[in-house]
A and B are shown apart, each in its own frame.
Chain A
């Protein structure tokens, strides 16, 4: 099943997140990731949702979302040229021996070490989901103690009319 990225612009009202997430769970659609944040208009919030499903399911999701009174606009970003970003914080086990190797990997990925301790360090990185996956893979062998990813956010490129 293909992954789709959809942007859902909603009115900034109490309960709107549970309305949207509840819709996904009760209709049996799987959310891969969900990121919510403010937008250029203080009355609106933007949810970026990554969901797996064929085109029919995506069409139903879109239509069902539009039935929610607080949903202003829904559009798919996977079919158009868009900038995708995710932020990740990874706490990796590190000692004096492994630290230089990790530093090298971090540099190659243009990531940053933002916290350093005796036995571990925290790497911060942003990028598209593939880059984050690759970084995660490279760091795995040192031992990932904890990790958090924000979920994808996405904006259509300027020349796209959406």
Chain B
């Protein structure tokens, strides 16, 4: 079948099961968008800024487990994707970014809107391609999807010069590809699994520390089986939220810098830490030499480079978490659910619950708790980055994987709104919340327009304290209350702004109004809603472990 390069690209995407792409056209993607004009099989969501396209593809991937795809033109279009690509890379999200490039005769001549995007994205992609021959397009797409979605997932960029988009090729999609150098390990070594089982059987205070790898691998069921069989409390990372029911007695919520007191105590006291699809990030470990000081460590991860990177490990198991755990679960012996250890952990849970002081104005934590109650814990919660993100992590309880979507590794303000859009496109029947701060929401607020145009009912919850709140909190606690350039007192009127974009909008400053307004928002299925919650300005996120401290040394109020 003879096709142009652009048509071949679209056919290849359909062969990979792509149903939707997020993008914005430009000079060097004109042929690609010309092919899109007649395309029936792929839906295109036209964003207002390429960063939005990147985060939307990322959010789509996180909500659905499929590969997210975004398009941008060359030069500034491509560089606008950079933050989104870095974000997906840090959190191991499968994503394909396709950028237009100047025609091959113009490459390397500083042509109009030319940037070396493969060079720029080298350290923030799992792999990338500058295609130089149109006949390679199907092979490159096939490889790119394979790389993005297998092993430890990640973003792959394909840079496609304009002249290749119009070149004619004889299209045939390859059935298979040969990549001799790329062979992820999926099954744990039986000896290592046996060694881990031995440690688990011997342990008196076992503890599970689950990360985003559990969700990527689809292994929540296996984690649940392990935890309940060996009666081990489970703490998760930010990206691991939803991997284990937070309503379960053995759930300790999140650990680390803003983790629960009981999770941080338990990690410090446990005699065996089973790390599953997690990478011992500094926000989790605090001062690393005081992290889990009494514990032997079993580390299960598909990426061998994570083993031993930050902490030394007693039993490493390289493999897909789901495969490893299903093998491991058969090896381990059941433990007493009423052990001293479990009793100890439960008593910490009772003694040191997450809490905040009531009184004064509207409390952001109370807003999250109320929204949790009203949505019955069934919404997909997508956050920006900052205080609101931590409150959304602490006070909403997650029971299903892929229901908490947040920028973990890169900490990207402006991630949430477009990512919520991607999640809503992927899960049209779900309630999708974008929990935002007044600082973050302004970093990609233009995507409200995209939500309106596509009738996407994302509910934007702005916890508005008129501050860059997390930075202000650090200034308060660590820099003598010198609030250097964190005051956003001159914020726009978010209600009017949202209405100007065509969204439904409300302002709430009393707790009693939350339910009524949220119900209106939930009922509206053909338009986004923005709710401006006017909250206590100087509320802090607690517990808080100062950077460089051990995680059991928390400031709690």
Task: Assess A69 versus B127: contact at CB under 8 Å? Given A15-B118, A18-B122.
Answer: yes
Q: How many A-B residue pairs have CB under 8 A?
A: 38
Cβ-defined contact, B123 with A59, below 8 A = no
Q: Kindly state the separation between the CA atoms of A70 and B182 in the bound complex, as whole angstroms.
A: 8
B126 within 8 A of A: yes
Q: Kindly state the separation between the CA atoms of A72 and B181 in the bound complex, as whole angstroms.
A: 4
Cβ-defined contact, B308 with A56, below 8 A = yes
Cβ-defined contact, B130 with A69, below 8 A = no
Q: Kindly state the separation between the CA atoms of A66 and B318 in the bound complex, as whole angstroms.
A: 14
Distance to closest chain B CB from A17 (angstroms)? 11
A124 within 8 A of B: no
Distance to closest chain B CB from A59 (angstroms)? 7
Cβ-defined contact, A22 with B181, below 8 A = no
Cβ-defined contact, B304 with A60, below 8 A = no
Cβ-defined contact, B181 with A14, below 8 A = no
Q: Kindly state the separation between the CA atoms of A18 and B120 in the bound complex, as whole angstroms.
A: 11
A26 within 8 A of B: yes
Cβ-defined contact, A59 with B122, below 8 A = no
Mask, A58-81, CB within 8 Å of B = 1, is 011001101101111100000000
Q: Kindly state the separation between the CA atoms of A71 and B181 in the bound complex, as whole angstroms.
A: 6
A131 within 8 A of B: no
Distance to closest chain A CB from B332 (angstroms)? 28
Distance to closest chain A CB from B518 (angstroms)? 44
Q: Which of B38-60 contact A (CB under 8 A)?
A: none
Q: Kindly state the separation between the CA atoms of A59 and B308 in the bound complex, as whole angstroms.
A: 9
B147 within 8 A of A: yes
A145 within 8 A of B: no
Pick the contact of A22: B123, B147, B308, B309 (CB < 8 A).
B123
Distance to closest chain B CB from A102 (angstroms)? 45
B114 within 8 A of A: no
Task: Assess A11 versus B118: contact at CB under 8 Å? Given A22-B123, A60-B305, A64-B305.
Answer: no
Q: Kindly state the separation between the CA atoms of A23 and B303 in the bound complex, as whole angstroms.
A: 16
Q: Which of A1-32 contact B (CB under 8 A)?
A: 11, 14-15, 18-19, 22-23, 26
Distance to closest chain B CB from A150 (angstroms)? 26
Q: Kindly state the separation between the CA atoms of A18 and B122 in the bound complex, as whole angstroms.
A: 9
Pick the contact of A26: B123, B304, B309 (CB < 8 A).
B123
Distance to closest chain A CB from B303 (angstroms)? 7
B480 within 8 A of A: no
Q: Which of B117-145 contact A (CB under 8 A)?
A: 118-119, 122-123, 126-127, 130, 132
Q: Which residues of B contact A69 (CB under 8 A)?
A: 126-127, 147, 179, 181-182
Q: Which residues of B contact A63 (CB under 8 A)?
A: 304-305, 307
Question: In the complex, which residue of chain A has the Cβ closest to the Cβ of B182?
Answer: A69
Q: Kindly state the separation between the CA atoms of A73 and B305 in the bound complex, as whole angstroms.
A: 15
B180 within 8 A of A: yes
Q: Kindly state the separation between the CA atoms of A66 and B181 in the bound complex, as whole angstroms.
A: 8
Q: Which residues of B contact A64 (CB under 8 A)?
A: 305
Cβ-defined contact, A72 with B127, below 8 A = no
Q: Which of B139-167 contact A (CB under 8 A)?
A: 147
Cβ-defined contact, B123 with A66, below 8 A = no
Q: Which residues of A contact B132 (CB under 8 A)?
A: 14
Pick the contact of B122: A14, A19, A60, A71 (CB < 8 A).
A19
Distance to closest chain B CB from A29 (angstroms)? 13
Cβ-defined contact, A67 with B122, below 8 A = no
Q: Which residues of B contact A66 (CB under 8 A)?
A: 304-305
Q: Which residues of B contact A71 (CB under 8 A)?
A: 181
Cβ-defined contact, B308 with A18, below 8 A = no
Distance to closest chain B CB from A128 (angstroms)? 30
Can you list 8 A-B contacts (CB < 8 A)? A15-B118, A15-B130, A22-B122, A60-B308, A66-B304, A66-B305, A69-B181, A72-B181
Which A residues contact B (CB, under 8 angstroms)?
11, 14-15, 18-19, 22-23, 26, 56, 59-60, 63-64, 66-67, 69-73
Q: 8 extra interchain contacts, Cβ-Cβ under 8 A, other than A14-B132, A26-B123?
A: A15-B118, A18-B122, A59-B308, A63-B305, A63-B307, A64-B305, A66-B305, A69-B147
Which B residues contact A (CB, under 8 angstroms)?
118-119, 122-123, 126-127, 130, 132, 147, 179-182, 303-305, 307-309
In the A-B complex, the 4 residue pairs with the closest CB atoms: A63-B305, A72-B181, A69-B127, A63-B304
